[in-house]
Structure formats: C-alpha cells, structure tokens
Amino acid sequence: MKLLIANGHLIDPAAPENTGMNVLIENGRVSAWLRPGETAPEDCEVFDASGLLVAPGFIDMHVHLREPGQEHKETIASGCAAAVAGGWTSVCPMPNTNPVNDNAAITRYMIEQAERAGMANVFPIGAITKSSDGSELAEMGEMKAAGAVAVSDDGRPVPNAGIMRRAMQYARDFGLPVIDHCEDKSLSSGGVMHEGRISLLLGLKGMPALAEEIDVVRDIIIAKETGTHIHIAHVSTKGSIEAVRRAKNEGIPVTCEVTPHHFSLTDAAVNGYFSQRPGRQDGPGTAGPDQHFGEARSSAYDTNTKMAPPLRSLEHLEAILEGIKDGTIDAIATDHAPHHADEKSLEYDKAPFGITGLETAIGLAFDQLVNTGVIGLERLVELCSSNPARIFGLDGRGTLIAGSAADVTMIDPCLNWVYRNSDSRSKSVNSPFDGWHFTGAPVATFVAGKLVYQRKDA
Amino acid sequence: MEKPFRRWDLLGIRGLSAAEINGILDTADNFREVNAREIKKVPTLRGKTVINLFFENSTRTRTSFELAAKRLSADAVNISVSASSVSKGETILDTALNLDAMQPDCIVVRHSSAGVPHQLAKVSKAAIVNAGDGANEHPTQALLDAMTIREHKKKIEGLNVAIIGDIIHSRVARSNIHLLTKLGAKVKVAGPGTLVPKDFEYLIENTLAAETQPANRGPQLEVMPRVEDAICGADVVMILRIQRERQNSAYFPTLREYSIHYGLTNERLDLAKKDAIVLHPGPMNRGIEISSDVADGSRSLILDQVKYGVTVRMAVLYLATGGSAITS
C-alpha cells in the first residue's frame, strides 16, 4: 500500500529540511521524498496536505496512562486516542501504574495494549527502583529488552543520593537515560502550590522553588561523575534552567523538558486569574503585579490549577521562555495526568496533583510560543519530535527521512479552534484550559502510515 | 451559580472595599443595643435558616454564630465533623449540595482546608459565610477585632497595630492585616523567622501608610526583626495563639524558649503606647504567647472581643441573608 502526502510544507529538523515536499509512504515507512511536481507512483493514494505543516510524528516524553490499575481515570486506549487527537504519534507512559511498571511483564503489557488500541505508539518508561519506593533497583535490563526507553520514579523521586548514584551507574550499562522528577520532599512536603506571594495570599502551603533546584543540581553532579544521561522532567524554575544551562556548557549529559502549562500559566491561576487573554500583550508577560489583587473571585482554588511541580510565578515563566528560546530546554512534554472528576472536586489541599494535557499542548505551544514569536515552527518540531526521539534513542522516529517510521503530525497553523473538555477523548477532564481559543491545531495524525486521526472541521 | 435572591457571601476580607467593611461595622453597631436588652431577641431573621457547618473543632465561633442567629430569630442548625457524613466518605461538595437542597438561607462554614468556602460558593444557592478556612481567612474575627478597636480607639485609620506570633499559619492574622490596612492602619508583624517570613510583606499591595502622624511613615505592612520592634509605639497589640504541634514540626525548639523570646509580658507591653490595648483571638495558652498578668490586666480586651463577636455575626448573617447595611 502506497500513500503520498502531497502539497504540504515539510519540516524535518533532523534532515534538515524546511520546504514544500511530498512524502511517499510504503508499508508503514517513508520510502522517498518527491519534489512538488515530481511524478508519484500511479498506484498510490494521495492525502492532500495543502496549507498544512507536515512534521515527523510528535513524541510526548511524559504521560500517565493509568493502566494497569486506575482504568477509571484513563486506559491505554483512551489515552492513545487523546494523544493522536492532540497530534502525538508516540507517548511515553510513566511507571506509576498499579502495580508499578518495574518489570518486563508490565512493560510488555503496556505495549500490547497500545498495539491492540492501534492508535499511538507507546514507549514505556520503567521504574528506577522496585515499586518506586526508592530502595532496591528495578530490573532495568529486562525492561529495556521488553521495550522500555528510559527509567524514572517520576512522582516518587529517589530521595537517597546514594541509590540515585547507583541507579545511574547501572542504567548506563543499558544506555537508558534516567529521568528525574526533581523534588526534595523534605522541602516541599505538605505544599500544594508554588511558595510565593500567591500562596501567602491564599493561605495555602507552598512548595519552594529550591525543592526542585536542589535535586536538579544533585542529579547534574551525579551525571557528571557517572557519565549517565540525566533527563530532568518538567523543569519549572529559573534556578533549574540556569543549572541545566551551565551543565550543558560544561558538556555534562543533561537534557530537560517543559510542560505547556508551565509556559502558559503562573501561580496567579490558583487565585482565579487565568482566563485566556487575547495575544501576548495582555498576557502574563506584561501584566502588572496588580492582577493578583482586588476582588477575591470565586474562581480561586480551582483544583485544575494544582499539579507538581506547581505553576510558578512570572519570573520563572519568563526564564522558561528564555530556555525554550536559547535551546536549554530540549523538549515539550505534557505530563498528561488524568484524574477522575470525583477526586478533583475535593478541597484544594486534598485534591490530587495533575492535569490532562495531550489535546491542548499544540494549541498552547502556538498560542504562547509560535504566534508570539518566541520560536519558529522548525524549533517547535525539534521540541516535540526530533529531540524527544534523540533523547530516548528512538531510531527511525523524530524524522521522516527515507526508511523512517511513517509517523506524521500535520498541523494547520491558521485554524482557529476552541478546546472543550466535553470534546476530549481522555477519560478525564481535569484541564484548566476548557474554553480557551487557539490558532493552530493538529488536524491529521498518521501512525505507521495509517490515518489515526483527522479533525472534522479542518 | 446565580443566587436566586439578593444574597451576599462573606468569603474573606480580601475582596471587600473599605466602604463595605465600614458598612458591616456600622450595621453591627446598630445591633449592639439588642445584646444589651434583657430579652435579647428581635424578629429580624424570622423564618430564615442558618446552617453552621463546622468541619473543624470550635466552641467559641460556633456558639457565637448560633447565638447571633437565634437572637435574630433565625432557625440555626449546627453540624459538626463527628456527626457529619464526611466521615462516611462523602465529598465536601456533596455534603454542601445536600444541605443546599434543604434550602437554607445561609451556610456558615469552617474547614481546615483553605478555599472551601470559595468552592462552596460556586455551587451553593445559599449565602456562604466563612467562619475560618485553613490558613486563609477568618473574616468575622477581623471584624470583631475591628469593632473592639473602634470602641476603644474611636478610629482605625492612623493606628499602629502589632501582630505577634505564628503569622504564616494564621487566618486571623491574614484577615486582620487586610482589614486594618484597608482602613488605613499600619501593621507590624513579628515572631520567629520560621513563622514570619520576610516575604509576608507581599501579602498586601504595600503602599505607604496614611501619614496622619509622623510615626506612621513607611509601608502599611512591615515584618519586624524582633517582637520588641513591632510593639514599640503600638496602639494595639494583637497576640496569636501558638499551636503546640508547631514545636514538633521544628518551627521553634520549645514552648519555654518561645515564651521567653516571643511571649507578651508586661515588660514588653510597656514598649507600646501607654493606652495600648491587647487583643487575643483565643483560646489562650497562658504563660506561653501571653503572660497571665497581661491577659488579666487592664489593657486586655479579650472578653470584649468575645462579646462583640456575637454582635458582628448578627450583622453578617443579616447582610448575608439579604439585609441592607444600616448606617446611623
């Protein structure tokens, strides 16, 4: 079966290519690029991508699919359906399932469930320690053989520096990057939002920026010593970004990702100030400090503003934008964390951490980064596809050069659309972006040459 | 949700203007007379229902709200944690919606989590009155404190107020700081560095205080390095209750050391103005944050505060259920 993706604008930073180019797909792989006007084989089907950006499939390095164990929040099938609708062709689920993905059997199960669903590819992330309890190493070699692409204890980060050092020494034998959710819980415990003026104002216990930074610095020092690749999950503070920037300049093997919510919202959202503002001029970049004061709106204490790491203050958001711009930040990852509405409708300090993100990520990236001139489209593709593939060593992904997997993300950069929780394919609707207007949308997603999602109004 | 009638939530002092605060205090002044009668009851809220929904222990505040409702002839129902269905696994939201379905006019809520009154206000048809939410606000406490201060100082604008103790965990401090600074007083806070972070000055839009007196120069809210610095020249000294469990979480070493370095003694109180008054939201830990000499001394107005608590809550219930502010 042959398919020609015709008339689109191809951006493939790994090639590198940024031009009008037709992509020929055969048997789930890219077989050739054809210049516009170049004759395509007669027997091929044609997908008209006029006006669309054609990019190597986007890879979300950080999601929670909740299966096995918490299928009331999400299943691998529902999470993968949400992924392709959000333009992601591959997702990397964290191991905090029940039971924890700390062995090859669970890793295999996740991949098989994804194959059954037939939507996005799933590349599981195995646990660093058994049950992610921070004491004994998990069977990283076995998980790698079963298809795991990295190891992490994500939300239960290894507190003990000695164990972390051993984990990194061991992971190196298998070429597995170690991902750390940096949070020193002795500094953040009991906290429910960023520690700063808004937490003071709302009487909520804060999680200081240094709780993240102290672990980032620790991990970088261990990476320097062991030579193991450390990937810092969802960086959220100025100090973390500065530490990563310095480490990269020193040649230490460190990479990092950022979530769309951390480059879109500040902690003022917890106080209810997060209705979308039109354009960057009125956005968080230039809004005065007075936005935090005045009428205590009833939209304060919305539990869909609660996640870890927390939404930070403006100076951190600005440092994130700078890091995205100058290359310190390598990837955009959603940290898609579905929670059932019953759990999110608790008191603010008792509700679970996390929001969904698969279907809003590209909209937010256009809204906050592309349409505001922070980055161009090529850099966007790098952040969402080429870099994630490189960091996890996914051969034949993150690029569309001949021989690669035919995973393709197509984006209409001009489409105006509104995100509605009610339209979400995820089983959970814990998103603070309900009703946000976007320009720029994923409109068609191919996985292994198969059309798995097409936007109806595009 | 749209409130069906003209109803008003009291979620905190933060969202109120100075005019609204004065409106509540003036209305309360008009209810004082009721509490001075031999038969302390008026028919103002006859036929109205007030639910006191207390998820946290309280004797003083719950009794005060109950008396306030009853003196206005409202039907008051008390629901406390142990008797509530929260222990049966019901979410706070379900509890509130179930109570709301019984069509009360006002739900007075106290909860250990900040923001619960705000969350309830979003879904409830009844007016919501915050009787203390976590470390966020305790608006009626600040109102009764203001009433006590007004009674003895005849004004709030231009006063120097010291607030001493566990500031960061205190909803009483937050509500009081908002109220006092909105009405033009200058507030100095002090206590152990672990409980009074320097950043606390960011709590309010920290403009310069009204310069009615030279001593008033400087920002409206200041974190002082030592307790003595805060008390020096104060018109009002407000002492916060120290939670004994803070010692276990390493905020300070021992209650003994706390009382020596941060407790209010007559010696420290002498640094304040001669006619300074002392307030404490209760319940007191005698000999820890306040010495018995001070607590029982002539400058202590702790029992006045309790008395005005009922009056202020009458005004708040009256306004929350649709009454108009009364100004004399």
Q: Cα separation of A64 and A97, whole Å? A: 8
Per-position b or e across A160-182, b if 16+ CB within 10 A of its CB: eeebbbbbbebbbeeebbbbbbb
The enclosing H or E element of B307 equals helix B302-320
Say if residues B112 and B80 touch (Cβ distance below 8 Å). Answer: no
DSSP string, A258-298: E-HHHHH--GGGGGT--SPPSTTTTSTTT--GGGGSSS--T
In a domain, A264, yes or no: yes
Tally helices (H) and strands (E) across chain B. 12, 9
For the cut 90, the answer to whether the pLDDT of residue B247 exceeds it is no
Domain with CATH 3.40.50.1370 in chain B: 18-136+308-320, 139-305
The backbone torsions φ and ψ at residue B278, rounded to the nearest 5 degrees and listed phi first, read -120, 130
Question: What CATH architecture does domain B139-305 belong to?
Answer: 3-Layer(aba) Sandwich (3.40)
The backbone torsions φ and ψ at residue A248, rounded to the nearest 5 degrees and listed phi first, read -65, -40
pLDDT at A273: 64
Which chain A residues touch B138 with a CB distance below 8 Å?
none
Question: A196 or B1: which carries more pLDDT confidence?
Answer: A196
**pLDDT tens digits along B112-156:** 999 999 999 888 889 999 999 999 999 999 999 999 999 999 999
In a domain, A365, yes or no: yes
**pLDDT tens digits along B15-63:** 899 999 999 999 999 999 998 899 999 999 999 999 999 998 888 999 9
pLDDT at A285: 30
**Spatial CB neighbours of B3, under 8 Å, sequence gap ≥ 6:** B125, B127
Q: Both ends of chain A: CA-CA distance in Å?
A: 25
The verdict on a CB contact (< 8 Å) between A301 and B114 is yes
Position B325 confidence tier, pLDDT thresholds 50, 70, 90 = confident
pLDDT at B216: 54
Query: B166 and chain A: CB distance < 8 Å anywhere?
Result: no
pLDDT at A296: 35
pLDDT at B206: 66
Alpha-carbon distance values, A170 to A130, A173, A224 (Å): 14, 6, 15
Q: Cα separation of B148 and B302, whole Å? A: 9
For the cut 60, the answer to whether the pLDDT of residue B215 exceeds it is no
**Spatial CB neighbours of B104, under 8 Å, sequence gap ≥ 6:** B49, B50, B51, B77, B126
Q: How many CB pairs under 8 A join A and B?
A: 73
Total length of chain A: 458
The backbone torsions φ and ψ at residue A431, rounded to the nearest 5 degrees and listed phi first, read -120, 140
In a domain, A195, yes or no: yes
The enclosing H or E element of B131 equals strand B127-133
Q: Cα separation of A119 and A425, whole Å? A: 12
To the nearest whole Å, the CA of B41 is away from the closest chain A CA by 34
Cis peptide before B283 (omega within 30 of 0): yes
What kind of fold does domain B18-136+308-320 have according to CATH?
Answer: Rossmann fold (3.40.50)
Q: Cα separation of B148 and A161, whole Å? A: 55
**Spatial CB neighbours of A418, under 8 Å, sequence gap ≥ 6:** A435, A436, A437, A438
Which chain A residues touch B202 with a CB distance below 8 Å?
196-197, 200
**Which residues, given as ranges, of chain A have pLDDT below 50?**
277-297
pLDDT at B83: 47
Residue A340: is it exposed, middle or buried by C-beta count within 10 angstroms (0-12/13-18/19+)? middle
pLDDT at B122: 86
The verdict on a CB contact (< 8 Å) between A200 and B200 is yes
State the total domains in chain A: 1
**Beta strand spans in B55-93 (E):** 75-80
The verdict on a CB contact (< 8 Å) between A346 and B200 is no
**Beta strand spans in A13-133 (E):** 17-20, 22-26, 29-34, 45-48, 53-56, 58-63, 88-93, 121-122, 125-126
Q: Which domain holds residue A121?
A: 57-395
Say if residues A387 and A334 touch (Cβ distance below 8 Å). Answer: no
Query: B199 and chain A: CB distance < 8 Å anywhere?
Result: yes
pLDDT at B327: 72
To the nearest whole Å, the CA of A139 is away from the closest chain B CA by 37
DSSP letter at B200 equals G
Helix extents (H) in A296-448: 314-326, 341-344, 361-365, 377-381, 387-391
To the nearest whole Å, the CA of A300 is away from the closest chain B CA by 7
Q: Cα separation of A114 and A108, whole Å? A: 10
pLDDT at A277: 47
What is the DSSP pairing of strand A125-126 with strand A121-122?
Answer: unpaired
Cis peptide before A278 (omega within 30 of 0): no
Residue A123, domain CATH? 3.20.20.140
pLDDT at A191: 97
To the nearest whole Å, the CA of B286 is away from the closest chain A CA by 27
Which chain A residues touch B95 with a CB distance below 8 Å?
none
* Facing A347 at nearest CB: one of B11, B111, B203: B111
In a domain, A108, yes or no: yes
pLDDT at A295: 34
In a domain, A283, yes or no: yes
pLDDT at B3: 42
Average pLDDT, chain A: 93
The verdict on a CB contact (< 8 Å) between A203 and B171 is yes
In a domain, A128, yes or no: yes
**pLDDT tens digits along B61-108:** 999 999 999 999 999 999 887 645 565 667 778 888 889 899 999 999
Nearest-CA residue of chain A relative to B171? A203
The backbone torsions φ and ψ at residue A147, rounded to the nearest 5 degrees and listed phi first, read 125, 0
In a domain, A24, yes or no: no
How far is Cα of residue A23 from the mean position of the Cα atoms in its chain?
Answer: 26
In a domain, A29, yes or no: no
pLDDT at A426: 97
Residue B97: CB atoms within 10 Å: 15
The verdict on a CB contact (< 8 Å) between B93 and A296 is no
